[in-house]
Structure 1
């Protein structure tokens, strides 16, 4: 595979390099384990991206809001929690929750199980590897590197395991989940879903909706559990762990092993997210921004390439709509549209939604921009 270089070569065959990379079925971890001192060319990002990678000591140290859910069921304290979550979802699009009710042991065991999956021998993981990165072909289990490898201009330094957990009619059969992560994935899916539903109730109340409105719309009806492995990178100044993007679903729930790397775009700056021990990170995704008619904000985020000696592990649960056939179309909720605040987005179908995915590399708010109504 081509050695790292920033020179522009008109004869460079990127497709060939990707094919050779995929044929190993070893992912980015395999490159790291080979002892290479420089990263392959397919991972090198253009100067305009690399110029935004300030040294860690110079990045913005402001942190995302931290919200205590200890008294979520208290009539006295709940209104204040609702207010804080609404403000965080609008201004930052990201926040951390503490005292969320999920046992620390479940979080730690889930992270360790994901780490163990990725650190199995290559021949064990290889049977799950899909070079096409096509969820419909994966039977609910997909292991690969970079879901946009064939579409993005540059690859990023991570591998991932993806499990389709719901809805039931298309979800992975539990027995088909790799044994090394099976029990932990099922347990985490239950905990993450309960937390997501709790948070969405608070979000509903914050904008004057019935607390169950997002649940009724199936905002947590489709769920993908993704366990990502970010190996140490020999040249972290030339690539990223994950490219800048916003999530296309409704809400996202994330835990990690406390190794930093996640950054969010706040205003014009990239802000480092400092994970608190025992906290869970929540972020608003594109569909919830659209459905809420901009009451909430889906923001761009990325992951820096790992410059630590230990791998960074994240476990992310993505929540999406599932009742497409029942509702036909989605868009800003009628309750949130008025003469003073007209609909900012058009109605869209399931085909509209999915035709915008899996056709490009990771992007900022491509769904939001696609469905936004033009001002007259």
Structure 2
């Protein structure tokens, strides 16, 4: 297949950055005052303020207080009643009093920073784009799919079985902190599985019975301060292809969600966790719960740290077909999506890259299919 000289040059530059194995952090350490050309995004992908993208401080993602939800029936019902409209309208909600000590959250953010700021020789040992590796460090996300480098580095940790975490394979500088955090998030994930089931009017164990609420991956992101933040982006606009994402972020800010045709800042609140529905959640709820697009803009402040925990199917179920929950269907709520497996979905999602076009519509039924 022939390629243009421009594309060939772009891919060459991408490979040169990748071959350094020191990421965006390495570029910053070199003292650059202007970002390399390969990081410059098309203006329409990073526009922060115009008629369609208004950065408004007046609206905030709903905050849900889980304190006492399991001891007081009325409190649990209140939480369910808050989660339902949050996922129907926002696709996001924040949770406080979630049971994870602030010290565990802070330790994970601290150790994430320590991993990314340790001598380059230490982090280079983990540098890889081999998707079969359970633990890997890489830069700029899906580098060869977006064709534009993104201003971030990532430590990725995969979990085959969240009840038996093999900490020895993780970098020593952060392995204990990751283990402590994942063990706590696993407990929270079970809670969310129940509350989301109830928010759909189903039995509390419905999602558990589908075996689709498993912690499978943790991405520890590092966004260095950027000398030209108006020219590049940390993560391009996208929706997550999973069931659920639980996000921990520091106090720097930069995360934005697309709500009512506006880009809204998600203002960090200490001690909170941000939860958002993914494409597969929207699919199996037949559009009841939404998977909303979001992005991370760059800043001269920082570095910014975040940790995204992805919830989806265990390996044994990733080839199993899943479709909209039958209990949610009726003559007023007709079937919208065909059945698909997680592997089929993620392969299609990956083949597109973060191109600003959602993958989910590809799996919608036509009118003749209903």
TM-score (ref. length: structure 2): 0.92
Q: What is the distance in 2 between the residues matched to 1:82 and 1:363?
A: 34
1:10 is displaced (CA, Å) by: 4.3
Would you say the 8 A contact 1:217–1:321 is kept in 2?
Answer: no
SS in 2 for 1:359: helix
Q: What is the distance in 2 between the residues matched to 1:184 and 1:325?
A: 29
1:330 aligns with 2:322: yes
Q: What is the distance in 2 between the residues matched to 1:319 and 1:247?
A: 10
Partner residue of 1:70 out of 56, 67, 72: 67
Q: What is the distance in 1 between the residues matched to 2:352 and 2:322?
A: 22
1:256 is displaced (CA, Å) by: 1.3
- What is aligned with 1:91? 89
Would you say the 8 A contact 2:193–2:213 is kept in 1?
Answer: no
Q: Let me know the Cα RMSD of the aligned residues.
A: 2.1
Q: What is the distance in 2 between the residues matched to 1:129 and 1:252?
A: 24
Would you say the 8 A contact 1:67–1:84 is kept in 2?
Answer: yes
SS in 1 for 2:156: strand
1:198 is displaced (CA, Å) by: 1.0
Return 366-375 or 105-114, whichever deviates more: 366-375
1:111 is displaced (CA, Å) by: 0.6
1:80 aligns with 2:74: no
Partner residue of 1:113 out of 93, 111, 136: 111
- What is aligned with 2:288? 295
Partner residue of 1:33 out of 18, 29, 36: 29
Structure 2: unaligned runs, 5 residues or longer: none
Return 218-227 or 92-101, whichever deviates more: 218-227
1:325 is displaced (CA, Å) by: 4.3
User: How many pairs were matched up?
Assistant: 360
Would you say the 8 A contact 2:215–2:309 is kept in 1?
Answer: no
Task: From the superposition, tell whether residues 233 and 346 of structure 1 become closer, same or farther in structure 2 (CA, over 3 Å).
Answer: same
Would you say the 8 A contact 2:247–2:308 is kept in 1?
Answer: yes
Q: Deviations over 1:325-346 (max 9, x none)?
A: 4983101011111222111100
Partner residue of 1:312 out of 304, 312, 320: 304
1:176 aligns with 2:187: no
Would you say the 8 A contact 1:53–1:237 is kept in 2?
Answer: no
1:265 is displaced (CA, Å) by: 0.3
Return 327-336 or 21-30, whichever deviates more: 327-336
- What is aligned with 1:6? none
Return 294-303 or 14-23, whichever deviates more: 14-23
Q: What is the distance in 1 between the residues matched to 2:282 and 2:101?
A: 30
Q: Deviations over 1:107-143 (max 9, x none)?
A: 000110111000111111101101xx2321x2x0010
Task: From the superposition, tell whether residues 12 and 352 of structure 1 become closer, same or farther in structure 2 (CA, over 3 Å).
Answer: closer
SS in 2 for 1:76: helix
Q: What is the distance in 2 between the residues matched to 1:262 and 1:41?
A: 24
Would you say the 8 A contact 2:186–2:215 is kept in 1?
Answer: no
SS in 2 for 1:330: coil
1:279 aligns with 2:272: yes
SS in 2 for 1:77: helix
- What is aligned with 1:20? 16
1:221 is displaced (CA, Å) by: 2.2
- What is aligned with 2:187? 194
TM-score (ref. length: structure 1): 0.90
Would you say the 8 A contact 1:246–1:364 is kept in 2?
Answer: no
Task: From the superposition, tell whether residues 327 and 336 of structure 1 become closer, same or farther in structure 2 (CA, over 3 Å).
Answer: farther
Structure 1: unaligned runs, 5 residues or longer: 1-8
Q: Deviations over 1:173-222 (max 9, x none)?
A: 32111111101111111112221221221111011111111122122224
1:223 is displaced (CA, Å) by: 1.3
- What is aligned with 1:155? 149
Would you say the 8 A contact 2:213–2:311 is kept in 1?
Answer: yes
1:266 aligns with 2:259: yes
1:364 is displaced (CA, Å) by: 5.3
SS in 2 for 1:296: coil
